Copies of this chain bind each other. A is one copy, B any other.
């Protein structure tokens, strides 16, 4: 309406499709890394990415979906499932990978999105659609290997037992404050996960690692 084209930066080379999306993801992650999830606004992302808000909303229905995609983008590829020949070490490795992921930017993004999911059922559905138990899949595979080795009775492998370790880790992530230290992970594995699968003492190695 008000006729004020003025300097008009709209003549710069203009990005499209993939390239633009990537730039927007980068802006989201940078904002989160710099100021945290709660300071992340669509305006700031748009400005930082030198994109228009309309471009954002053409691609994602809202903030949660955007951040969810950005987090997914930032995730390392499907981690190769460890297979060291020891259930204990395999489990510990998965837990450590998970903890490292949660402590990074992806974790911060997840925290924020989860926060919204708790308040908004639509977002919750988006998240569920998405978080198809990555950790659980890896645990399943590890357990299958342990059964093959004869290290674990197959009757003990149930979804609830498999979830116990990851659930403790997530609870720590959600309710705890400081960083997740390794002692925690070791304790969860030795006191909860292994006993649940019939392995009552650290066997191969005598100490941590």
Could you tell me if A167 and B161 are in contact, using CB atoms closer than 8 angstroms? no
Could you tell me if A131 and B175 are in contact, using CB atoms closer than 8 angstroms? yes
Q: A115-B116, A115-B117, A164-B192 are in contact. List 8 more A-B contacts (CB 8 A).
A: A38-B119, A116-B119, A160-B187, A160-B191, A160-B192, A164-B167, A164-B168, A167-B168
Q: Give every chain B residue within 8 A of A191 (Cβ-Cβ).
A: 158, 160-161
A31 within 8 A of B: no
Considering the complex, which residues of chain A in the window 165-190 have a beta carbon less than 8 Å from any beta carbon of chain B? Answer: 167-168, 170-171, 174-175, 177, 187-188
Q: Distance in Å from the Cβ of A79 to the closest Cβ of chain B?
A: 21
Alpha-carbon separation in the docked complex, A29 to B114 (Å):
23
6 contacts between A and B (CB under 8 A): A111-B118, A115-B115, A115-B119, A118-B118, A163-B168, A164-B164
Measuring CB to CB, which residues of chain A are less than 8 angstroms from any residue of chain B? 37-38, 111-112, 114-120, 124-125, 127-128, 131, 158, 160-161, 163-164, 167-168, 170-171, 174-175, 177, 187-188, 191-192, 195-196
**Taking A115-B115, A196-B195 as contacts, is the C-beta distance between A160 and B171 under 8 angstroms?**
no
Could you tell me if B111 and A119 are in contact, using CB atoms closer than 8 angstroms? yes
Could you tell me if A192 and B188 are in contact, using CB atoms closer than 8 angstroms? no
Q: Distance in Å from the Cβ of A53 to the closest Cβ of chain B?
A: 21
Q: Give every chain B residue within 8 A of A124 (Cβ-Cβ).
A: 177
A168 to B, closest residue via Cβ? B167
Q: Give every chain B residue within 8 A of A177 (Cβ-Cβ).
A: 124-125, 128
Could you tell me if A171 and B175 are in contact, using CB atoms closer than 8 angstroms? no
Could you tell me if B115 and A118 are in contact, using CB atoms closer than 8 angstroms? yes
Could you tell me if B160 and A168 are in contact, using CB atoms closer than 8 angstroms? yes
Q: Give every chain B residue within 8 A of A196 (Cβ-Cβ).
A: 192, 195-196
Alpha-carbon separation in the docked complex, A171 to B133 (Å):
12
